[in-house]
Structure 1
Amino acid sequence: MASKPGLLTDWPWQKLGNLKYLVLAPWVVHSVYSFVTKDERDRDITNLLIFPILLWRLLHNQLWISLARYHTAKSKHRIVDKSIEFEQVDRERNWDDQIILNGLLYYIGFMYLPGTSRMPIWRWKGLVLTTLLHMGPVEFLYYWFHRALHHHFLYSRYHSHHHSSIVTEPITAVIHPFAEHIGYFLLFSIPLLSILFTRTASVVVFAGYVTYIDFMNCMGHCNFELVPKWVFNIFPFLKYLMYTPSFHSLHHTQFRTNYSLFMPFYDYIYGTMDKSTDKLYEDSLKGRKETPDVVHLMHPTTLQSFYHLPPAIASLASEPYSSRWYLSMFWPIPYEFMLLTWIFGSTFTVERNVFDKLKMQTWAIPRFSFHYSSPSQKDAINSVIERAVLEAENEGVKVLSLGLLNQGEQFNGNGEIYVQKHPNLKIRIVDGSSLTVAVVLHSIPKGTKEVLLRGNISKVVCAIAKNLCQRGIQVSVVGKDNFEKLMLRIPTELWTNLLLSTSYTQKVWLVGDGELSEKEQAGAAEGTHFIPWSQFPPKKKVRKDCIYYSTPAMIIPKALQNVYSCENWLPRRVMSAWRVAGIVHALEGWDAHECGDTMFDMEKIWLASLRHGFLPMQGQGHPLI
């Protein structure tokens, strides 16, 4: 929102939320109905093409979002090296409003304006006229309109909303109040209306001009330099006809320079070209090599979780993961992306964070949870994880933490197989088990005398059970096999506090594996605390009279920046214990692996986490039981 919002700031359909696309429905239905019901000789495909053009614009912008987020996380050609936070994501989540507005005006215009019906596919005269009108009136008027928007009266009421984003993303280009978009639409309509009135319009020119505007807008706000220097060496005059991302980035940091739309020659003419433009372009193109200190290795969980990754759909990534029915229709996309990344690269970077001087990246294995449960995939996935470890080793990464199923005990021995194969690794592999146990223990309500433990036996489960038994807490285990396995892995003197469960009367349940059935939950006593110890939460929460805890996680400190997405199903600015463990490991400078059967002192890593600003979530933080 602008600092002093003016008239027509809000969009007319703002209160509709995600239902705002319904405002286009009558027009789309009418265009389809008219095309289907008319005789073949009377059909006009032009009006029918408006909706596909709008869909193309949505896809085009989304591709730019994904490209920019990937490059700003991985690329050395980043221009502004500052952070993006949730506030910016929330402010920019309505980027598609301008496409809806344009769609409505296109439908109205194509219904009433002359020259729109039966528009031919191509006319070269329309291309020439559109090019000349854009270079002349559009660029000239935009330059002065833009300068006017920087006058304190208009800036405070309208344009300051756009400039709230210092670190721009492609969609920042269209984040303006409603009134400002009306002005832009009138401006960009000059070439389109001209070719309509002169009968030189064509579908290709119309769609091409709109795509050109979207392309240049997104490119100018993508925050990484991608225009190669050889372009300007071969065609020197292009520096006056085509701006670069670094050119427009200066406008967002300096505010009073580089006002031009896409063609900088008006800034040259009127003396508003920033003097550091060429240097910033050269520096951004040269780039700066950055080695992360910590890498967190994760993977998508379900097919829909692919859209939750930071480079995917920004609004979804900024919220805790939940299934959405409409995403099921696009199931081929995650598979296709997975296959491409599998062919051309072992992992891909999804996020970059900074904690004081500590640099962190999150890498993703291009496989989903169901692949990890397939015996035929085990060796292939372990091979990819191993390559990721060696890649991080070669880059000089200090710590690599294994998230989700990348560190399963039955899968790779909690990461131990990589240390065994490469005993001289300088990078430290962390499975996060000690902090996970500490978080679970600190989540158990004070005064608890007995707990119910369910789930497959692992070193985390054994450590939890051992600590509870040592403190005189009765641990009831679900399943005879699990009970017998657990007895073999804890000291015999603690067996007196270990029982085979015969009832579900305990008020504290420690659950794992994400499989807490509705029947089991129904059998729990009122007020039962369900505390997960695994990476995955219960699939369904059916009891309103019980308390459900998050998977082991901690609230991150304010100093940890560039956080604009949620980690799986966790709330904003909350990280899993496995991820936090890797960060704390690097901050403390611990020179040991935490994998296989190795575990650190749980209270030591818990206190270290608190000392570095990580905070317990609700229900945690009391003295260790």
Structure 2
Amino acid sequence: MASRPGILTAWPWKPLGSFKYVILAPWAIQSTYSWMVKEESERDLANFLILPLLLWRMLHNQIWITLSRYRTAKGNSRIVDKAIEFDQVDRERDWDDQILFGGILFYLANQTMKGASQIPLWRTDGVVITILLHAGPVEFLYYWLHRALHHHFLYSRYHSHHHSSIVTEPITSVIHPFAEHISYFLLFAIPMMTVVVTGTASVAALAGYLTFIDFMNNMGHCNFELIPTFLFRVFPPLKYLMYTPTFHSLHHTQFRTNYSLFMPLYDYIYGTVDKSTDELHESALKRKEECPDVVHLTHLTTPESVYHLRLGFAYLASQPHTSKWYLKLMWPLTLWSMIFTWVYGRTFTVERNRFDKLKLQTWVLPKYTIQYLMQWQKVAINRVIEEAIVEADRKGTKVISLGLMNQEEELNTYGGLYLKKHPKLNVKVVDGSSLAVAVLLHNIPKATIQVLLRGKLTKVASALAFNLCQRGIQVATVHEEEHMKLKNSFNNKCGSNLVISKSYSQKIWLVGDGLSEEEQQKAPKGTTFIPYSQLPPIKYRKDCSYHCTPAMLTPLSLENVDSCEQNWLPRRVMSAWRIAGIVHALEGWSEHECGYAMLNTDKVWKAALQHGFQPLNHLSN
């Protein structure tokens, strides 16, 4: 919101929330129905294509969002290094409002203006007129409108909302108050209305012009440079006719320079070009891919999780996972994304952070949870993980932490497999089990005298049970084989605190993978389920509480946090396994933590607290 919001700041349909798309429903239904029932000679192609055009604009914008977030995470050609946080994601979530606004106006014009219906696919004269009118009056008028919006009166009431984003993303280009969008649409309507009135309009001219505006807007705000300098050397006048991402980024960092829309000509004429424009352009292009100090290796979970990645839908990524009805309608795209990820055999970078002096990155394996459960997929998964570790080692990474199922015992012996194959690794492989155990020990209520251990026995489960027994808390299991497996791993040091329970009466359950609905139903009312697994249990009971998976609250000094980890963790909460890798690098520990080896839990816990990570207080539901 602007610092002093003026009139017509909010969009008219804001009270509708996510149901705002219903305002287009009557128009879309009418245009589709008319196309289907009318004779071929009476069909209005322009009216029918408005809805596909709006969908194309949304897809076009999303492609730019994904590309921008991927490129800026990797670092090559990145322009501005400052962080994007949750407040910017929240402020820019309604970037599609201007597409809805355009759709309403297109439908109205088609129904009311002579020459706006029954238009052909192509007319050369109309395309030429559109180009000339944009290069002439539109660019000139925009320059002066933009300068006016930087006058303190209009800036404080309208344009400051746009400039709240110093580090831009493609969708930053359309984040303006409603009144400001009205003025922009009036400008962009000059070429479109002219070709309609003169009878030279065509689908290509109108749709092409809108696509051009979207393309240039997104490019100018993408925060990575992609226009090579040789273009300006080969054709020098081009520098006056086409801006670059670095050109416009200076407008967001300097505010009083580089006002032009897409053609810098008027900045050169009126002396408002930033003096560092050419230098920044060249330096951004020379910028190499960033070499991280710490890499966290994770993977996809469900088919819909691709939309919750930071490279997916920005607003969904910024919230803990909730089922959205519209994702069900996108199953064809979801299916194609699954096919692509199954074929694509390398990790990809989704996020970059900075903490203290460390550069952090998150890499994702294009594998789903279900694939980790398939025996025939394990070789391929291990190959991708191994390649990621070797690549991190080659880049000089200090620590690589294994998240989710990338450290399964059956898959790679908690990461120990890679040390056997590459004993001279400089990068430290960390499974984070010691910090996960420490977090769990502090999640258990102090008055607890007995807990029930259910689910798959893992390295974390065994260490957790051992620590509880050493602290005088009884750990109960319900199966003899589980009891014996734990007892043997403890070397008879647990005393009488490891017991077999004949009932499910305990009110504190420590649960891992494999906890069934049938077992959950046996728990007494009010039971607290505390997962020790990386994946949370399915919640079948409404009369019980479920803690989140082992995690801690991150310090505010951790930069560029604008997405929720693992879909189910709240904002600025990070899994213990990921934090363990960061702490390992901060402390400069020289040993690996993988295989069956573990660090001292008290030492790791104190180190995490010392670096600003905080325990969660009763984060359950």
Match of 2:278 in 1: 278
Work out the CA distance in 2 between the residues paired with 1:519 and 1:610.
38
1:499-556 CA distance string (max 9 Å, x none):
223211111100111x544443333223221100000112124223x32211000000
Work out the CA distance in 1 between the residues paired with 2:179 and 2:478.
63
Match of 2:500 in 1: 500
Match of 1:250 in 2: 250
Match of 1:48 in 2: 48
Alignment of 1:474-623 (within 5 A): 474-494=474-494, 496-513=496-513, 515-544=514-543, 546-568=544-566, 569-619=568-618
Work out the CA distance in 2 between the residues paired with 1:271 and 1:157.
26
Three-state SS of the structure 2 residue aligned to 1:353 is strand
Worse-superposed segment, 171-180 or 325-334:
325-334
Three-state SS of the structure 1 residue aligned to 2:40 is coil
**Which amino acid is the alignment partner of residue 108 of structure 2?**
I
Structure 1 pair 279/242, CA: closer, same or farther in 2 (3 Å)?
same
Taking structure 1 as the reference length, the TM-score comes to 0.97
CA shift for structure 1 position 46: 1.3
Contact 2:457 2:512 in 1 (8 A): no
Match of 1:623 in 2: none
Work out the CA distance in 1 between the residues paired with 2:333 and 2:33.
30
**Which amino acid is the alignment partner of residue 561 of structure 1?**
E
Three-state SS of the structure 1 residue aligned to 2:349 is strand
CA shift for structure 1 position 336: 3.8
Work out the CA distance in 2 between the residues paired with 1:283 and 1:329.
44
Work out the CA distance in 2 between the residues paired with 1:574 and 1:265.
47
Match of 2:421 in 1: 421
Alignment of 1:192-591 (within 5 A): 192-334=192-334, 336-337=336-337, 340=340, 346-494=346-494, 496-513=496-513, 515-544=514-543, 546-568=544-566, 569-591=568-590
Match of 2:122 in 1: 122
**Which amino acid is the alignment partner of residue 558 of structure 1?**
L
1:573-601 CA distance string (max 9 Å, x none):
00000000000000000001000010000
CA shift for structure 1 position 340: 4.3
Contact 1:508 1:529 in 2 (8 A): yes
Residue 90 (str. 1) matches residue 75 (str. 2): no
Work out the CA distance in 2 between the residues paired with 1:385 and 1:137.
56
Match of 2:14 in 1: 14
Work out the CA distance in 1 between the residues paired with 2:468 and 2:354.
36
1:451-500 CA distance string (max 9 Å, x none):
00001111111101111111221111133332232222112242522222
Three-state SS of the structure 2 residue aligned to 1:613 is coil
Work out the CA distance in 2 between the residues paired with 1:169 and 1:596.
41
Contact 1:483 1:500 in 2 (8 A): yes
Three-state SS of the structure 1 residue aligned to 2:529 is strand
Work out the CA distance in 2 between the residues paired with 1:180 and 1:417.
59
Three-state SS of the structure 1 residue aligned to 2:191 is helix
**Which amino acid is the alignment partner of residue 423 of structure 1?**
P
**Which amino acid is the alignment partner of residue 145 of structure 1?**
L
Worse-superposed segment, 164-173 or 502-511:
502-511
Cα RMSD of the aligned pairs, angstroms, is: 1.4
Contact 2:303 2:338 in 1 (8 A): no
Contact 1:346 1:384 in 2 (8 A): yes
Work out the CA distance in 1 between the residues paired with 2:571 and 2:368.
23
CA shift for structure 1 position 343: 5.4
Work out the CA distance in 2 between the residues paired with 1:479 and 1:97.
57
Work out the CA distance in 2 between the residues paired with 1:342 and 1:236.
45
CA shift for structure 1 position 610: 0.3
1:35-85 CA distance string (max 9 Å, x none):
222222211121010000000000000000000000000032110011000
Work out the CA distance in 2 between the residues paired with 1:541 and 1:565.
27
**Which amino acid is the alignment partner of residue 575 of structure 1?**
M
Three-state SS of the structure 2 residue aligned to 1:509 is strand
Contact 1:296 1:363 in 2 (8 A): yes
Work out the CA distance in 1 between the residues paired with 2:533 and 2:341.
28
Three-state SS of the structure 2 residue aligned to 1:41 is helix
Contact 1:260 1:267 in 2 (8 A): yes
Contact 1:462 1:486 in 2 (8 A): yes
CA shift for structure 1 position 332: 4.7
Work out the CA distance in 2 between the residues paired with 1:128 and 1:619.
64
**Which amino acid is the alignment partner of residue 595 of structure 1?**
C
Three-state SS of the structure 2 residue aligned to 1:168 is coil
CA shift for structure 1 position 426: 0.4
Contact 2:344 2:366 in 1 (8 A): no
CA shift for structure 1 position 291: 1.4
1:193-217 CA distance string (max 9 Å, x none):
0000111111011100000000000
Worse-superposed segment, 340-349 or 491-500:
340-349
Work out the CA distance in 2 between the residues paired with 1:324 and 1:516.
26
Contact 1:350 1:363 in 2 (8 A): yes
Contact 2:143 2:261 in 1 (8 A): yes
Match of 2:144 in 1: 144
Match of 2:158 in 1: 158
Work out the CA distance in 2 between the residues paired with 1:467 and 1:262.
64
Work out the CA distance in 1 between the residues paired with 2:455 and 2:345.
35
**Which amino acid is the alignment partner of residue 176 of structure 1?**
H
Three-state SS of the structure 1 residue aligned to 2:530 is strand
Worse-superposed segment, 525-534 or 485-494:
485-494
Contact 1:303 1:331 in 2 (8 A): no
Contact 1:563 1:573 in 2 (8 A): yes
State the percentage of identical aligned residues.
62
**Which amino acid is the alignment partner of residue 385 of structure 2?**
I
- Structure 2: give runs of 5+ residues left out of the alignment: none
1:11-44 CA distance string (max 9 Å, x none):
1111111101011001111111222222222111
Contact 1:452 1:510 in 2 (8 A): yes
**Which amino acid is the alignment partner of residue 564 of structure 1?**
D
1:308-363 CA distance string (max 9 Å, x none):
11011101100012333432343454554455466565110000000021100000
Contact 2:345 2:384 in 1 (8 A): no
